[in-house]
Structure 1
Amino acid sequence: MDQGNTAFLLIAAAFVLLMTPGLAFFYGGLVKAKSVISMMMLSFGAMGLIGVLWVLYGYAVAFPGAEGLVAPWSIDWTALGLDSLLETPEDAAFPPLAFVAFQATFAILTVALVSGAIADRAKFGAWMTFAGIWATVVYFPVASWVFNFGLADDGSFAYGGWITYGMQEVFGVGAIDFAGGTAVHINAGAAALALALVLGKRVGFQKGAHVPHNPPFVLLGAGLLWFGWFGFNAGSELAADGTAALAFVNTIAAPAAALLAWLVVEKVKDGKATSVGAASGAVAGLVAITPACASLHPVWAILLGFVAGAVCALAIDLKFRWGFDDSLDVVGIHLVGGLIGTLYLGFFANGTGLFMGGGFNQLLVQAIAAAAVFAYSFVLAYAIGFAIEKTIGFRVKNEDEVAGIDTVLHGEEGYVLTAR
């Protein structure tokens, strides 16, 4: 067992786990003051629920270890409760539980990302119900499509999910998704769009009606997300090597460029470059580089960041034009950014991209992967959300939304400024 790589993987897992509290601050600062507790609790609720489900059966579904095209509903029955993973094989590079822990943090964060679309108006119990069902029937299977793989004795791929491995048999190349552009960001963004449609618009929804109550929270959250993203991207190599170093550098370059691009678009469009724009731009760049971080020259990573920052800065206004209330721009940043990063690989991926010596096949498989994950997640998320809304109710009463839902749902206030 390589203790260096084991330490690297465990530290990366801790980095990624920190991203969910970081997301709570990022989202919490964007809502109104009387909803900040409720918003942050959606992220912390996901940490609790998905952490338990992952140990009980999530890992077994996502990593069934079956050869060939891994079916989404395959389950490694011996891995339920992680019973078969407690011992470390003598020839293993790291303990199986280190990988379990690393992937658990991905599952937690992906579910938490969805919550930004329903800020200010969702019941906590309904959200927890949705989170558990969606993780079970959507995230765990999609993670298997992308992340599940096995190696032959010579170190080459022996089997894997259909997105990253199975399409090789048909197109000669598989889709590239190093750290979760499809499995995490397109997946979460599609579910966010579905829930925004199910719950409907907030009271008084219009451009400029809902402003962030605490930009310093937003900046703090973005900083924690960026910090954790180094574990997200570089850690996905599962080894402290040159590929991890490339992913690390690109995780600096792309979001830095995206931050600048977002600010330029803001300045041109609205006359001011804002702190929330800087934070949002950095996150957009982080989203876009996630699938591509190990497959791009750093210069092309910078270009990707500029493209993602500018396009996402414009995309967040689509909700006003098209009439869906994605409260905190999960669609505009995570869905759009994930699509940009995934499709960009079809042009610029080292060795296989259209402009890098490859053909059209890389772009084709990237598009197939993006479309499949989007459709699967959107349809099931809409069905789950609709069923919850029609049974136990997903949305709070309008009067509670207007008053602020912290005290109604949790009996707490985010800011108590006077003695009681």
Structure 2
Amino acid sequence: PKMMPVNQELLRYLEQQSEVGRDLWLVSASPEPWVARLSEHFDIFQRHAGSTPEKNLKAERKADFLSQHLGSAFCYAGDSHADRAVWKVSESAILVGDAARFADSVPCRVEAVIPGRKPLMTSALRSMRMHQWVKNLLLLVPLALAGEIFRIPELLLVLSAVLALSLLCSGTYLINDLADRRADRLHPFKSGRAVASGNLPLPWALGLALVLIFVGLSAGLALDPRLGLIMGIYLVITLSYSFRLKRLAVVDLFVLATLYTLRIVMGLVLLDHAFSSWLLIFSFAMFSSLAAIKRVAEIKLGGQTGKSSGRGYIHDDVALLRSLGLSLSVAAVLFLVLYMEYEVFTREVFESPQWLWLAPPCVLAWVCRMWLVADRGSMHSDPVIYAVKDRVSWGLAAVLLAALTLSHWPAT
């Protein structure tokens, strides 16, 4: 039962009614053993009844059962047309989900209306996690570092690749949600996801995932066959992560870092830029650290007992992750300095490159802040997504943008 999707608003309403002293019965047309397990799990029902091989407790039969035991002095919660037979003999009704559509024709007083599934289109769009698309702006990094960010043709090309990769990523998010739906239902925040909550039916989720992956890959291949190939590699690694690698402690950090670094590789390939070892090492170290932050945040959220949801860590691993992550953060900033000294400043791209020295302290300050927030248990999401809503992160980003802009101005 704990793995089943639950209408949380209805559950909260029933718990409130139980607290004020109302007796709750769980009566369903589902098989009796199932109903018994649900009643035991939620522990708010005084009695339960379900269908047996001899009697199917649906519609008129359910109405007869309740009338025999309760008369007409009861309120019945239902969500389908078949429940009208019960409402004919009940004192009042609680309309759940689609039942709200025929509220005017319910033959008794309506006590409450509880929303059911969200609209399918809304659920589908939410499950695509478009807010995560911000991560794919990493494809713009090579363009910015080459001083070509203001060249419209190149910018449009990279933005088209960002969109193609974003569609592919949304498809993989849905695959991940399908694989994790049982674990997500136990999570305080992930239980609200469209697949875990039951708002997006499984066939629809799978179909949408396949369409998004196909369209994203096709768009990538159309833009540049090499881009399409790397996107294919990204897809294979992502699916391997979803089904197996995310459960391997420490390995999962480096897999996530690889996926982030592949985004920068896509940008380099698309623009025909030479690969920079320092840039790629910086990316791998930085995103390994951010992956460690994410795991610490998940463990802190999970409390003192057990493993983090669907991952290979326990609470005692926080110290290891903290040491590893902070070391990687400092190493990443060092690699960034080396990249700037030996590659960025040797090119005659920037008019005033000295402004770029603001980047290392800003990056170090930001990653230290992310560690502080995660270690205090105040981060409930991916650090990149947290940063999108964080004022301090926006302030540091503004300093970096100003430094990049000033680096193009001639020195006076």
TM-score by length of 2: 0.30
Instruction: Choose between structure 1 and 2 for higher RCO, CA contacts under 8 A separated by at least 6 residues.
Output: 1
Structure with the higher strand share, 1 or 2 = 2
TM-score, normalised with respect to structure 1: 0.30
Q: Which has the larger radius of gyration?
A: 2
